[in-house]
Amino acid sequence: MAERSFAKEVEHLHIGSGEIFRGEGILAVTKALLQSGVSYVGGYQGAPISHLMDVLADAQGILSELSVHFEASASEAAAGAMLAASVNYPLRGAVTWKSTVGTNVASDALASVASSGVRGGALVIVGEDYGEGSSIMQERTHAFAMKSQMWLLDPRPNLTSIVDMVEKGFQLSEASNTPVMLELRIRACHVYGSLTAKDNVAPAFTLRDAMENPVRDYDRVVLPPSNFVHEIEKVKHRWPAAVEYIKSHHLNEFLGGVAGDVGVIVQGGLYNTLIRALELAGLSDCFGETRIPIYCLNVTYPLIEDEVKDFCLDKKAVLIIEEGQPDYIEQALNTILRNADIQAKVVGKHVLPRAGEYTGQVILEGLQKFFDAYAPSLVAVNSRGARLPLPPDGQKTIAEIVPQRPAGFCTGCPERPVFSAMKLLQKDIGKFHVSCDIGCHLFSILPPFDIGNTTMGYGLGWSGASAFNTAALKRTISIMGDGGFWHNGLTSGVGSAVFNRNDNVLIIIDNGYAAATGGQDILSSRAGHKTKHTNNPIAKAVRGIGVEWLKEVNTYDIGAMKKTLKDAMTTQKKGPKVIIAQSECMLNRQRREIPLRNKAIHNGKRVVRVRYGVDPDTCTGDHACIRLSGCPSLTLKDNPDPLREDPVAYVNNDCVGCGVCGENAHAAVLCPSFYRAELIYNPSVVDKVLASVRSAVIGFFQKRGEYARAKYTFGA
């Protein structure tokens, strides 16, 4: 059950030549694949291309009509290996994943297919997850493209340009016998727009054709001596062929003014941001009409030397807007111009930050510094003719003014109680080393839990603690999600621990989905699936690989979770110890149950909804419950007692009734202020009678208590 359904949107993928297609960038990419005659598509979900995988999953009907094979790959490595189909056969294939972590995982397969070369067009669609909204280490795809000699496309963020680059990407790949990478930032993935569609095209050469007419060419196998020849092919044949195609088909664009002493060279994906900055500076309108010459690099690797020289020949200086570091493009531009004895000054990181996302404000400040130094006559002015000043020295940024709000677990998340139990365990046995993993559970590193020392990669939680496989007074605990387990953790984590007789502890959080990437189904998902084989228990796989100490626990039972953790940390039994913490992802559960509940209520059916609350008269204001939970629905409100100043805990209407707050209060022996309530919609006659009886009994004791207090107070 993915985070978002595109069942309605994918119907627009049927439209034909001349019709107007409207939608998000990811839908446009899918349409472009269908228009390109692709034979197969694979990939692994992850921001910012998770929804691309969801679109492809929802579009399996139209994919089948065109004989396009789609596969949700087990990992990025598995997706990258799919491109092997294009090595010997004229099959167009595309794979997608989150970069740069996905590219790292797929590196073996990508390096091999880049070495052997391809007959059919091979396209790697990379979600370039760089910038303030990123969830990974800050690196760029550019280095990998250079390293393996794969051509890198970075289209302008509009639907027409994106679709054009997808289609041209396949053609470029075939013209140069080289896989092509196409990077899309998060804004490009979700930009909304329109384009003139073309007809969808079924592959001229199908997968069945290839299977029934197999081809073997030893020259394409990455083994000596073929691999030595591949390197020469890249330089002598593939690279020149790519350059010729890029030039003749005008993949890069010359925009804005045609002449001037200065100009701007910009990565295609940053073009919209550049235009916004020029608009703020009074040098462009919102449609990109500007007299500043712009060389837009829709292909950032390889650079086309003739185009660079032609653009810079009459310039005193050019500003290169290249996000991130190292400054690969800036260095290459300097090399090209100096070798050609062209004296145009290349300005980049001197006026722009070496690291960090290039927002409109960042580029605006860089433009002003550049124009001040090299084109005072074009100094940035606004529409009223007044110069736009740089921010005064010492002025605080938005990040410094607005309080940080770190990411956290969703309301009712089944992973939160696991870390509540770990906090309680630390009180009993002291602190211990925790090796974290990629996934929602990584939020445990942040307040209020502050649990976790390192994270090394998806499914590498236990491997991240493998150096600590030695005798010690205290064992380590490693974390792994079910998505990471099936991605990489079964072999590199559990298998390695069994083989090396690891004596430490692993918690596998089994919430039923690849929750962090949008709730996609995985091997151990409980629900049935039309095209996938689910319901494969993690416990069965773990036992099958040789783990003997294995416990399965409901995550919401904090007492049982704490006891199981303590047993694992203190048992005399040697060998790897695995705890499978099970409960369904609350976000997916609510997506499924809320529409059904609302429908039942609307139809007059009796529905019971569990809610938790805090008695303000009993709450001590200690707030230990919040420190052990961090649930977004557990907050504070003013104390109703005028003699007490501390605010009391309060459960707001976001509560989903998971019971973790109450469980924490019980397991930690906290105050008894939490209560459980049942909200009954469309109550039956019995419910109404019981409610009347309860009200009468409670009212009787309340009045009796009030009478006793009054008698004691006034001595009556």
Structure confidence by residue, pLDDT tens digits, 255-307:
999 888 999 999 999 999 999 999 999 899 989 999 999 999 999 999 999 99
Q: What average pLDDT does the segment 89-95 reach?
A: 97
| Residue 291 placed within a domain | yes
The predicted pLDDT at position 714 comes to 60
Instruction: Please state the domain count of the chain.
Output: 4
Q: How confident is the model at residue 21 (pLDDT cuts 50, 70, 90)?
A: very high
- Tokens encoding 45: 């979900």
Percentage with pLDDT > 90 across the chain: 69
pLDDT category at 24 given cuts 50, 70, 90 is very high
Q: How many CA atoms lie within 13 A of 53 on its CB side?
A: 31
Do 241 and 260 fall within a single domain?
no
Mean pLDDT of 177-194: 94
Q: Which of 215, 233, 248 is at the close of a domain? A: 248
Whether residues 584 and 494 fall in one domain = yes
* Gap between the Cα atoms of 526 and 24, Å rounded: 31
Calculate the alpha carbon distances from 180 to 22, 83, 171, 443, 540 in Å: 26, 11, 10, 35, 40
Are 16 and 137 contained in the same domain? yes
In terms of domains, do 164 and 30 share one?
A: yes
pLDDT of 380 above 50? no
Mark whether 266 and 234 lie in a shared domain.
Answer: no
What's 458's domain CATH number?
3.40.50.970
Better pLDDT: 353 or 628: 353
Q: What is the pLDDT of residues 631-640, one digit of tens each?
A: 888 888 888 8
pLDDT at 435 over 80: yes
Whether residues 234 and 271 fall in one domain:
no
All residues at 6 or more sequence positions from 270 whose CB lies less than 8 Å from its CB, including other chains: 321, 323, 358, 363
Does some domain include residue 602?
Answer: no
Give the pLDDT band (50/70/90) at residue 40: very high
**Which pLDDT belongs to residue 393?**
57
Encode burial over 224-240: b for 16+ CB neighbours within 10 A, e otherwise. Answer: eebeeebeebbeeebbe
- Residue range(s) defining the domain that contains residue 483: 416-588
pLDDT surpasses 70 at 502: yes
Q: What is the pLDDT of residue 612?
A: 87
Q: Identify whether the C-beta of residue 293 lies closer than 8 Å to the C-beta of residue 260.
A: yes
The string of pLDDT tens digits covering residues 188-240 is 999 999 999 999 999 999 999 999 999 999 999 998 999 999 999 999 999 99
Residue pair 176/241 in contact by the 8 Å Cβ criterion:
yes
Dihedral over alpha carbons 528, 534, 540, 545 (to 10 degrees): 180
Q: 678-716: per-residue pLDDT in tens?
A: 899 999 999 999 999 988 998 888 787 677 766 666 655
Q: Do residues 630 and 449 lie in contact, with contact meaning Cβ atoms separated by under 8 Å? A: yes
Residue 624 has which token pair? 């230990």
What pLDDT, on a 0 to 100 scale, did the predictor assign at position 643? 81
Q: What are the φ and ψ backbone dihedral angles of 607, each rounded to 5 degrees?
A: -130, 135
pLDDT digits (tens, 9 = 90+) for 572-627: 999 999 999 999 999 889 988 999 999 999 999 999 998 888 888 888 887 878 87
Q: Is residue 505 part of a domain?
A: yes
> Which pLDDT does position 693 carry in this prediction?
94
- Cβ neighbours of residue 417 closer than 8 Å, sequence gap 6 or more: 555, 556, 557, 558, 561, 660, 663, 664
221, 297: one domain: no
Is-contact 355 362, C-beta < 8 A? no
523 and 562, same domain (yes or no): yes
243, 325: one domain:
no
Residues 228 and 288 in one domain: no
Higher pLDDT, 484 or 627: 484
Residue 302 domain-assigned (yes or no):
yes
Is the peptide bond between 240 and the residue preceding it cis, with omega within 30 degrees of 0?
no
Res. 384 pLDDT band, cuts 50 70 90: very low
> What mean pLDDT, rounded, does the chain reach?
90
Residue 263 lies in a domain: yes
Q: Which residue has the tokens 């200690």?
A: 622
**Residue 487 included in any domain:** yes
Specify whether the CB–CB gap between 42 and 83 falls below 8 A. Answer: no
Q: Considering only CA atoms, which of 39, 65, 234, 200 is closest in space to residue 120?
A: 39
Phi-psi region of 430 (alpha: psi -120 to 50; beta: other; left: phi over 0): left
**Is 292 in the same domain as 432?**
no
- Give the span between the Cα atoms of 112 and 127, in whole angstroms: 21
Q: Which of 197, 222, 248 delimits the end of a domain?
A: 248
Beta bridge partners of 128: 99
Please, are residues 30 and 59 in contact by the beta-carbon 8 Å criterion?
Answer: yes
Distance CA(716)–CA(711), nearest Å, equals: 5
- Residue-level pLDDT at 713: 61
Average pLDDT over residues 97-111: 94
pLDDT of residue 383: 43
CA distance linking residue 156 with residue 133, whole number of Å: 19
Q: What is the pTM of this model?
A: 0.88
In a domain, 597, yes or no: no
Domain with residue 321: its CATH number is: 3.40.50.920
CA pair distance 269, 296, nearest whole angstrom: 9
> How many angstroms separate the CA atoms of 486 and 74, rounded?
7
* pLDDT tens figures, 529-577: 778 899 999 999 999 999 999 999 999 999 999 999 999 999 999 999 9
Q: Prior bond to 447 cis, omega within 30?
A: no
Examine the fold and report which residue of 187, 221, 248 is the final residue of a domain before the chain moves on.
Answer: 248
205 and 84 assigned to the same domain: yes
For residue 113, the one-letter residue type is V
More confident residue, 74 or 672: 74
Does residue 93 lie in a domain region?
yes
Q: CA 14: distance to chain centroid?
A: 28
Rounded Cα–Cα distance for residues 646 and 640 (Å): 10
The residue among 347, 399, 345 whose CA lies nearest residue 369 is 347
pLDDT at residue 663 is higher than 60: yes
Q: Would you state the structure tokens that stand for residue 279, as one six-digit string? A: 């608009």
